Amino acid sequence: QVELVQSGAEVKKPGASVKVSCKASGYSFTSYYINWVRQIPGHGLEWMGLINPNVGFTKYAQKFQGRVTMTRDTSTGTVYMELNSLTSEDTAVYFCARDVTGGGCDYWGQGTLVTVSS
Amino acid sequence: DIQMTQSPSSLSASVGDRVIITCRASQSITNFLNWYQQKPGKAPKLLIYAASSLQSGVPSRFSGSGSGTDFTLTISSLQPDDFATYYCQQSFRTPKTFGQGTKVDIK
C-alpha cells in the first residue's frame, strides 16, 4: 500500500535550519511529484513547493524562494525539505503529499511538527 | 498567485443536514479544483479532484461541482464523521493555493 512516512518532531533555535524527510513506499517513487504543505497551529494549509523525484525538478512558492530546498534520494525513495533561517513564524506542522498530475494530493505523510523557539 | 476564497468560514449543522460549501478562484482554473477534509491532528484527506470526481473510497454523499471560478462541495446528508474542516485547493498553476478553510461543527 502507498505510504509516506515523515521524520520526527524537531525543535530549533531561531536562525537555524531544519531538514524534514519523507520516505515513500508502495508505488513507483519516480512516477509522482511530491508536494510540501505546512500548517501553522490553528491556521490553514499553505503550499510550499513540489519536487519531481524523477529528475529533481523543483518549484517553490515565492514566499519560500531562497530559503527552502527540496531534494530527493532515488536509492531510498526519500524526499527532503530543508528550510533555513528559521523564525518563530515557521513553527508549524509540515506535510509531504503525493501529487496526482492535474488532480490533488492523494496520499499524505503524517506530518512533522517543527517548533522554533529560543 | 491565484487566490481561493471559501465561504462560509464556519457553519453549524445537524446530522442529516445538507451542507454546501463554496469556493471562488480569483481567475479561471477550468476544473483544476480539489476538496479536502481535515480532522484535528490529522493530515488532510482528498475527497474530490478535478472539481467533481470522487476520490476512491470516499462516500457518495460527498459531491463537487463547478468550473471556471466558482465551485461547490455538497454533503447530501451530514454524518457524525463529517464534522471537520474542509479546504479547496487549485491545481491549475503553481503555487497550488488553498482556500482558508470551512469548519463544520455540530449545531
Q: Per residue of chain A (118 residues), what is the pLDDT tens digit?
A: 999 999 999 999 999 999 999 999 999 999 999 999 999 999 999 999 999 999 999 999 999 999 999 999 999 999 999 999 999 999 999 999 999 987 899 999 999 999 999 9
Measured between CB atoms, which of B43, B50, B94 is closest to A110?
Answer: B43
Q: Are B74 and B63 in contact (CB under 8 A)?
A: yes
Strands B102-106 and B10-13: parallel
Confidence of residue B60 (pLDDT cuts 50, 70, 90): very high
DSSP notation for A38-77: EE-TTS-EEEEEEE-TTT--EEE-GGGTTTEEEEEETTTT
Task: Report how far residue B69's alpha carbon sits from residue B11's, in angstroms, rounded to the nearest whole number.
Answer: 22
Residues of chain A in contact with residue B87, where contact means CB-CB under 8 angstroms, are: 44-45
- Output the nine-digit C-alpha cell for B103: 469548519
B96 contacts chain A (CB < 8 A): yes
Q: Which pLDDT score is estimated for A101?
A: 80
Task: Please tell me which of the candidates A59, A102, A104 has its beta carbon nearest to residue B94.
Answer: A59
How far apart are alpha carbons A43 and A64 in whole angstroms? 18
- Asked whether the beta carbons of residue A47 and residue B49 sit closer than 8 angstroms, the reply is no
pLDDT grade, residue B44 (50/70/90)? very high
Residues of A with Cβ-Cβ distance to B50 under 8 angstroms = 102-103
